[in-house]
Each structure stands twice: as structure tokens, then as C-alpha cells.
Amino acid sequence: MKIDYKILHICNDEKFIDSTIKLFEDVYPNKSIYYVLQSTNEPFKHVRSEKAKPFLIQKEGDEHKIKDLLHENKIEVVFLHALHLKKQRIVNVLSKDILKVWFIWGSDLYWNWKLLKKDMFERETYTFLYGENTKTSLRNKIMFNNCSLWLFSKHRDNKIWLPKILVKKLETNFLTDFYKVVQKIDIAVPIVPAEYELVKRINNNLVYAPFEYANIEDLAINNELYNVKNANNILVGNSASPTNNHIDAFKQIVNYKQDSQKVIVPLSYGGKKDYINFVIEKGNYYFGDSFIPILNFMPLNEYNQLISGCGFAVFNHKRQQALGNINTMGYFGAKLFLNSESPIFKYFKKLGIQVFNINSVNSNSFYSKLSEKEIEHNRSLLFKLYSREAVKKKVVELIEIVDFKLKEN
């Protein structure tokens, strides 16, 4: 379809933004303007596209500069790639007439919404982050759950009456700055559909739209070159973020891995030094010389070469995370172990992609590999979901939804 308006993208300086810009330009050339949020005048670290411009926010109040961009370019639609604090402040200065589209990255949702944040970690990781005391009072459990959020939402919509003392307590729990910002969003674009149901609990008026940040051809590049059917090592996690629940994964693996298997753990981005040191210490304790931490950032081809030595991949995230790595390893033919609470695990299971529960690891888990038939089955389904053409079709569908909402407004 043709569009006769401009879209303003507000991004972070991340490694997949160049491919995102290329994707939109391939499907709808010269219809978008791209700004990368910066806190300094330093050059971008990851973004290389000539179409990307810096948008400097150094102090509170700088977000008002967005109004000039909207006016100069006659912008009607803003695409917010993630909804971290600075973008929340931008949303707060946008008028109701501007259509606001939130591309949910995961960290922006799970770290900002306490109902989800409290459930991101397994025991060992939680203990490292917050200490031994993991008890929550019964009163707080009653007042801070999805049921009480439902009551709060119904009251806000004037559909039920609640006593003032209860309303005050619910507002303390739920009426956060993040909640207020999400109320202003028009369209939600999740990585996996299950996340749409999560954000609908915050704003029931959100409209769903599809999108993928990467396609399987670009991620997996050459599955013949990087075929892992003869590989034997174990990949654990995708980053140094505690949401990988590394140590809890190590404890699941240690008694079942083969002596010859290396445990490869990428720790080159996304985490703090004390957590990285903790993972390295525990990795050496559990696996000795078999533990291989990756501390330096690698170009994609080098990273693929490294992980192609892994016939098994363990992703112990309870939240949506690492989809690019999961897709790549699945397409290479690795045996995938995911946390059963992960939205990706549930989504893939529903689609028929063969993945295994990390909590059900046994003596056979890291000995038997997927059969050729199982590998081809996974590849076929992943390609159907994430091929270059499938990803472009989702951009078209996204724009159709945006166009409909604009006309509706």
C-alpha cells in the first residue's frame, strides 16, 4: 500500500538498528525519519546508517525538542523502539493527535512493570541480586497480583466501585509513571504475541501489530557453513544480563554434560562487572577448564563461527529475550533448551517447533541430538516465521494497521 505521511522512528544505539532502517527503506523507501537517542555528542557505537541522526537528551526537559521535529517534518506517527525512561518522557510531551507505536523489546516492559520484574529470576540469580530473604508478605501478595490489577483497571474505567482505602493502596502499587505512559500508547508491537496480552493488562485499548527486527537469512547467514549437527559443545545464554539466570542453568547442566563438552557463555554485553565476575567464578567452579566465557564483542560472522561449535543451546530466560540467538541456533540445527516460563518457549511449543524444558534436563539431554528430520522440521517453521519475505510482509501489515488507526482518529 502507499502511504502519504512521514514516520518518526526514535531508536537506541543498538546493533540491529541498521538492519531495521534497511528493512523499512526496502518496503517503504523515504517514508521514515530515524533518530538515535544520545546523551553525549560522541559518534554512534553500533549504528552506521547514513539515515540515522542523533537526538540529544542530556537533561530532563530536553525531550521537548521533539516538538520541533514533529512540526518541521509534519509527523503524524512516532515509532518508539523500546520504552525506556527517556522515551517515556518523550511520550509525555506528545499530543493526543500523534499516533504512538511502541515496539516492545522486553527489558523496557519487564524492568519497568513490577508485576513482571519480580518474576524474572530463578533462585540463585535472585539471591545474588537481592540477598537471601525472598519472602513476600501475604498481604503484599494479595494486593499486588494480576487479580488486584484487574480490580484497579475496572475501577479506573468506572466499571466497579471500590472503597477509598483500597483504591489508595492499589494506586500505590500500580499507578506508576510507566503505567501512565502506557495509557497514552495506541499500538503495541511485541516480539512474541504473548507479550501483547501482558501489556493489555496495563492498557486494554492497545491495538496489536506485528514486526520482526531480524530475518533468518541475515542471522543464520549460511546454515551449511555453520551446520551444528556434528558439534558437541553447549551454549548458555546470550549476554551478561542477570535475566539469563546463568548459575541456575549451570546447576541444571553440570551433572548431565559430557566430560568432552565445553560450556560457551557469551558475557560481552548487557551486564554489570560484579555479575560477570560472579558468573565466571561459578562457571569455573562447576565446569573448570570446560568453562569458556566470551568477554569481547564479536562481529556476526565470528560469533556464528563460535556458536557453530555448539550442538546444544540453553537459554534460561523467564522473560522474552535472546530470540535472535534462539532462532539462529535453531536454524543451525542445535537442540534448544528454554525456561518453560519463557513466552518464547510457549510460543514455539504452540507452533510445533521442537524445544526442551531446561528444568527437565536428564542424562540423555546432552548426548542425543536432533535427527535430520527434526532439524528440517524446525528450520521449515522458523523460515516460515522469520524469512526475509515474511518479515517484509509484517512491515506491510504493521503499516496497514497504522494507516487504519490514523484514519480512525
| Residue pLDDT, tens place only, 352-396 | 999 999 999 999 999 999 999 999 999 999 999 999 999 999 999
Report pLDDT digits (tens) over 313-335.
999 999 999 999 999 999 999 99
Report pLDDT digits (tens) over 191-213.
999 899 999 999 999 999 999 99
Coil/strand/helix, residue 355: coil
Rounded-to-integer distance, Cα 12 and Cα 15, Å: 9
Residue-level pLDDT at 217: 86
Please name which of 329, 338, 312, 320 lies closest in space to residue 378, comparing C-alpha atoms. 329
Query: What's the chain's length in residues?
Result: 409
**Mean pLDDT score of the chain:** 92
Please name which of 252, 391, 401, 250 lies closest in space to residue 324, comparing C-alpha atoms. 391
Report pLDDT digits (tens) over 21-58.
999 999 999 999 999 999 999 999 999 999 999 999 99
Residue-level pLDDT at 221: 60
Report CA 190 to chain centroid distance, whole Å: 8
Task: Give me the residue label for grid cell 533462585.
Answer: 123
Report pLDDT digits (tens) over 257-301.
999 999 999 999 888 999 999 999 999 999 999 999 999 988 878
- Centre a 10 Å sphere on the Cβ of residue 109 and count the other Cβ atoms it contains: 25
Residue-level pLDDT at 133: 63
- Which helix (H) or strand (E) is 323 found in, with range? helix 323-332
Average pLDDT (239-258) is: 97
pLDDT category at 189 given cuts 50, 70, 90 is: very high
Which conformational region is residue 18 in: left (phi greater than 0), alpha (psi within -120 to 50 degrees), or beta? alpha
Residue-level pLDDT at 200: 94
**Model pTM score:** 0.91
Domain 216-386 matching CATH 3.40.50.2000: the answer reads: yes
Residue-level pLDDT at 152: 86
Residue-level pLDDT at 135: 56
Coil/strand/helix, residue 110: helix
Q: Is 90 exceeded by the pLDDT of residue 169? A: no
Give me the CATH code for the 6-112+176-211+389-408 domain, please.
3.40.50.2000
DSSP state of 112: T
| Set of cell numbers at residue 107 | 527489558
Residue-level pLDDT at 197: 92
Q: What one-letter code names the amino acid at 252? A: Q
Contact 199, 206 (CB under 8 A): yes
pLDDT category at 137 given cuts 50, 70, 90 is: low
Q: What are 338's strand-pairing partners?
A: 315, 357
Residue-level pLDDT at 299: 83
Among 63-67, 88-92, 131-135, 302-306, which stretch is predicted with the lowest mean pLDDT? 131-135
**Greater confidence, 139 or 291?**
291
Residue-level pLDDT at 142: 67
Report pLDDT digits (tens) over 107-127.
999 999 988 887 899 999 999
Sign of the C-alpha dihedral, residues 106, 112, 113, 115? positive
Contact 101, 79 (CB under 8 A): yes
% of residues, the chain, pLDDT over 70: 95
Q: Hey, where are the domains in the chain?
A: 6-112+176-211+389-408, 145-175, 216-386
Rounded-to-integer distance, Cα 199 and Cα 239, Å: 25
Q: What one-letter code names the amino acid at 205? A: N
Whether 216-386 and 6-112+176-211+389-408 are alike in CATH topology: the answer is yes
